[in-house]
Structure 1
Amino acid sequence: MVTATAPDLSITTILVAFAGVFLICFMKGAFGGGFSIVGIPLLSIVMDPVSAGGLLAPLFVAMDLYALRYFKGSTWSKPDLKPLLPGLIAGIGLGYLLFRFLDHRAIAIVMAATTLIFVGLWFLKGAEVTARPRSTPKAVTAGLASGITTMVAHSGGPPLAMYLLPLGLSKEVYAGTTSLFFTVGNATKLLPWLLLVQSTSSLWLLVAICLLAIPSGVTLGWRLQGMLDQRQVYRICYGLLVLVALKLLWDGVSGYLM
């Protein structure tokens, strides 16, 4: 069993956790998910990373189900999901088996470096939306990498984005495909996370409180997406990838220094 400290239910903990979950829900509504790590630093202020993972695991499933009211079947790129999802499920299984043995710091650094190179190449090409041909091997690899990193550190967004963004999908299809991808992924990793983290009454009470952030967070994010054009959405996604990469880089490097 992974050691975790039960979160206290002080006003500070509740407010910070609520704000972190709201931010994650907002990103879910605006971009379909994949950038949940942006809200995790807030949670780390009031609880250890393992407890944060245990808190978020059921909340991810709840926000995914709520987001399906906006991201319906017409927004799913089924040709891309077909190779992505098997890789995702396999990656989650592999991540669970290796959870206790993987060096999370090294994974964070490698993922950060890869993401920064990917974004840098995009900017060098003129920061324009392009349409690259689909590749089944690349899709399976992206799904596998996303599955491992989402299981280990709730950071499965970069591998998926690095596959989907160059395809030049419409903003609705990009967000919908990302949303369904992580709906499947979060539902799959719920049980493994609950097995890894010792549940406590305070943790589940905090989950119940944070559920209240889901409707407003997802809805406001979805409205923002509707206000942005295709180019703006893609540029924001690439910008968010930089933030995620820098966060991962900090987590990895600081883990070795501390």
Structure 2
Amino acid sequence: MVDILPDYPPMFWVAAVLAVLFLGIAKAGFGGGAGTIGTPLLALTIPVGDAVALLLPLLMLCDLFSVWHYRSTFHRRSVALLLPGAALGIAAGTVFFDYFLGNGQILRTGVGVLALVFVGFHILRSLAGKTLEARHPGAVEGVLMGILSGFTSTLAHAGGAPVAVYVLPQRLPRRLFVGTTVIVFAAVNWMKMPPYIWLDLYHVGNLATVVVLAPLTFVGVRLGIWLNRHFTDLWFSRVVYGILLVTGLKLLFG
């Protein structure tokens, strides 16, 4: 196994362990979109194409654990409206990715921008969360947010903000909100795999790396479920978005 692993820099393994643990914790405990931290962290040490390819199978493993846990706890109408749009967004994201795959700097900059956008969205959501009135967004808004989510998820596994824009105003109970995001992102991740294969993002080396990191997905998911029961979102969000802010700035400005 060691012989076929790529010659990654030492910092890659530090970033990879942190990224996979955060992905599992976020997906199972605090809504899958918080896993946005994974791609920017890895993109500090390896090309963006390699980073997203490496993370997708690990995300899908997290999905197996977390979907089982939330299999009967999700908002069916939201899932039904978001997924068709997500499929369209994935198609658009695949075309974009294919066009810029040879330009690592553009993709790196794009991931950095997305990271900072997510930090800004989190701050605005925190400021406005208590003043927004509960409402039920319509079908068109659901499809549009699905398209945005599918597009950004294809580029950087960063589809959380559009889904949150659609789901949060409904003021769902915390567990129902987390279950809904888990189901949506599980479906989105499975839909992304054929385009990633078509983009030729996989090789023996990164698949071997997935095998090495795979056990951490279970650890992260179990931690996420436990933390969800015992802690509020606030401390976790501060850690995640603090790291995301620093990482986004590093990707943009070196």
Shorter-normalised TM range? 0.7 to 0.9
Residue 138 (structure 2) pairs with residue 135 (structure 1): yes
Does the C-alpha gap of structure 1 residues 185 and 139 become closer, same or farther in structure 2, counting only changes over 3 Å? Answer: same
The letter of the residue matching 1:81 is: V
- String of CA shifts for 1:143-186, please: whole Å, max 9, x gaps: 00000111122211111112212211111110000000000000
Matches within 5 A, 1:4-43: 7-8=6-7, 13-43=12-42
In structure 2, the partner of 1:116 is 120
Candidates 152, 160, 164, aligned match of 2:163: 160
Percentage identity across paired residues of the two chains: 25
State the Cα distance separating 1:242 from its structure 2 match.
5.6
Quote the residue 1:200 is aligned against.
203
Give, as a single letter, the amino acid of the residue that structure 1 aligns with 2:226: R
Confirm or deny that 1:92 pairs with 2:90.
yes
Q: Report the count of equivalent residues.
A: 244
Unaligned runs of 5+ in 1: 1-5
Kept after mapping to 1: 8 A contact 2:114/2:158: no
Cα deviation per residue 1:189-245 (whole Å; 9 max; x = unaligned)?
Answer: 0121122244222211110011110111101111111124xxx44x56876896598
Q: Does 1:221 align with 2:224?
A: yes
How much does 1:248 deviate?
8.5
Shift of 1:118: 7.4
Q: 1:25 to 1:80 in 2, by over 3 A?
A: same
| Larger mean Cα displacement after TM superposition, 10-19 or 42-51 | 10-19
Deviation at 1:46, TM superposition (A): 3.3
TM-score normalized with structure 2 length: 0.81
CA distance in 1, matches of 2:244, 2:118: 8
Change (3 A) 1:206 1:126: closer
Alignment gaps of 5+ in structure 2:
101-105
Q: What is the match of residue 103 of structure 2? A: none
What is the correspondence of 1:236-255 to structure 2 with a 5 Å cutoff?
A: 246=245, 250=249, 253-254=252-253
SS of the residue corresponding to residue 35 of structure 1 reads helix
Moved more, 180-189 or 13-22: 13-22
Looking at structure 1, the residues matched to 99 and 225 of structure 2 have their Cα atoms a distance apart, in angstroms, of 38
Moved more, 162-171 or 101-110: 101-110
- Asked if 1:171 corresponds to 2:174, the answer is yes
Aligned residues: CA RMSD: 3.2
- Letter paired with 1:186: N
Are the counterparts in 2 of residues 22 and 213 from structure 1 also a CA contact under 8 Å? Answer: yes
Residue matched to 2:50: 51
Are 1:131 and 1:169, in contact at CA under 8 Å, matched by a contact in 2?
Answer: no
Distance in 2 separating the partners of 1:57 and 1:213: 14
Following superposition, the deviation at residue 117 of structure 1 comes to 5.9
1:183-198 correspondence to structure 2 within 5 Å: 183-198=186-201
Query: Quick one: distance in 2 between partners of 1:114 and 1:210?
Result: 26
Secondary structure, aligned partner of 1:69 = helix
Cα 1:111–1:140 shift into 2, 3 Å: farther
Supply the distance in 1 between the matched residues of 2:74 and 2:149 (Cα, whole angstroms).
Answer: 18
Q: Structure 2 vs 1, CA of residues 175 and 129 (structure 1 numbering), >3 Å: closer, same or farther?
A: farther
